Structure 1
Amino acid sequence: MLMLGLVAAFAAFSANAKGDADAGKKKFYTCTGCHGIAGYRNAYPDYPVPKLAGQNEGYIVNAMNAYKAGERKHPTMRAQAESLSEQDIADIAAFLSQAK
Structure 2
Amino acid sequence: MKRVLLTAACLALALAAAPAFAKGDIKKGKQLAYTCTGCHGIAEYKNAYPSYRVPKIGGQNEQYLVAALTGYKKGERNHPTMQAQASSFSDQDIADIAAYLSSLAPAKK
What TM-score do the two structures reach when normalised by structure 2? 0.76
1:37 is the counterpart of 2:50: no
Aligned counterparts of 2:51 and 2:18: Cα–Cα separation in 1: 34
Which residues in structure 2 correspond to 1:2-81 (within 5 Å)?
11-12=18-19, 15-81=20-86
Q: Secondary structure at the match of 1:31?
A: helix
Per-residue displacement from partner, 1:18-59 (whole Å, max 9, x unpaired)?
Answer: 101111011101111001112112343422110001100000
Greater Cα radius of gyration, structure 1 or 2: 2
Q: Aligned partners of 1:32, 1:64: CA distance in 2, in Å?
A: 15
1:88 is aligned, of 85, 93, 97, to 93
User: What are the ranges of 5 or more consecutive residues in structure 2 without an aligned counterpart?
Assistant: 1-13
Structure 1 equivalent of residue 5 of structure 2: none
Gaps of 5+ in 1: 1-6
**Larger displacement relative to structure 2 (38-47 or 63-72):** 38-47
Alpha-carbon distance in structure 2 between the residues aligned to 1:32 and 1:84: 16
In the TM superposition, what is the alpha-carbon distance from 1:68 to its structure 2 partner?
A: 1.0
Q: Distance in 2 between matches of 1:48 and 1:70?
A: 21
- Root-mean-square deviation (CA, aligned residues, Å) is 1.8
Aligned length: 91
Please identify runs of 4+ aligned residues in structure 1 that moved more than 6 A: none
Letter in 2 for 1:81: A
